[in-house]
Amino acid sequence: MKPARIEEKIQMPASWSDIPFGEHYRQALEAQLAPWWQKMFGYHLLKLGHLSTEIHTKECMIPHQFTVGEDPHLFDVAANPEALPFADKVIDACLMPHLLAYSHDPHWILREVDRVLIDDGWLILSGFNPFSLAGMAKLVPILRKQQPYCSRFFPSLRVFDWLGLLNYEVLYHRNCQALPWLSSEKRVNKRCGGLGVMSVIVARKRTYPLTPTPLKFKQPKVKISTALGATKEISKSKQFR
């Protein structure tokens, strides 16, 4: 298994339209997340990366929604996702579409997002499935330098492992867009979701006490004299039987 951190930096596309069949990916992602927006509450929704700016989140119950990226002309807050300018535990939910796929250090990204998320905060991830048609195309040398095959295809189990180390509970996972050139509403893409090109993960941050303290129950105190007297009465009753 290749290490998660690499020295080479991968250029993230500025829009879904810069990825072949990107609009289908965007629509499929919005369809997968639609039932979840009504379940998220809080004050701040953080949308990280270029691709997050085009994801419609109007149905989300969180009122303050803002984007963060390195370009000050495209984002509400200009900052490096690896060094977010926020205090600890102030963000209620974070949307990261394909950010790990274009990151040279996904561990660092996850740790930084975990730092700013509140307890029980929501984390939404998406990426490319290596066990799909796109994963097979990535094996072709000519395509490796083109979008989206130049990015990193992490297996879902590996991402689950990273989230588990940070105490995140995966609430939802789905692979969608088996045939990326078709709409997400087509019957083939609905029935063959397991082979989908795009992986969608919805997780929630769980916080457990480091030193669990068991409950102490008060037991009634019994006098030794009372206990001895009860024992003698029982022994006498047995003699007369």
**Nearest by Cα to 86 from 64, 103, 59:** 64
Quick check: 25 and 197 in contact, CB under 8 A? yes
Domains belonging to the chain, first-starting first, are: 14-203 (3.40.50.150)
Is this structure's pTM higher than 0.85? no
Residue 89's identity, in one-letter code, is K
In the block, which residue shows the tokens 């939910």?
Answer: 93
Give strand pairing partners of 94.
Answer: 46, 123
Quick check: 12 and 77 in contact, CB under 8 A? no
Distance CA 104, CA 9 (A): 5
Instruction: Encode the chain (241 residues) as per-residue pLDDT tens digits.
Output: 678 888 888 889 999 999 999 999 999 999 999 999 999 999 999 999 999 999 999 999 999 999 999 988 889 999 999 999 999 999 999 999 999 999 999 999 999 999 999 999 999 999 999 998 888 988 888 888 899 999 999 999 999 999 999 999 999 999 988 888 888 777 777 766 677 899 999 999 998 655 555 655 555 554 545 545 555 555 555 454 4
Quick check: 90 and 121 in contact, CB under 8 A? no
How far the first Cα of the chain sits from its last, in Å, is 78
In the block, which residue shows the tokens 């499935």?
Answer: 129
**18 to each of 98, 107, 135, how far by Cα in Å?**
13, 26, 18
Q: What is the CA radius of gyration of the chain?
A: 26
Cis peptide before 13 (omega within 30 of 0): no
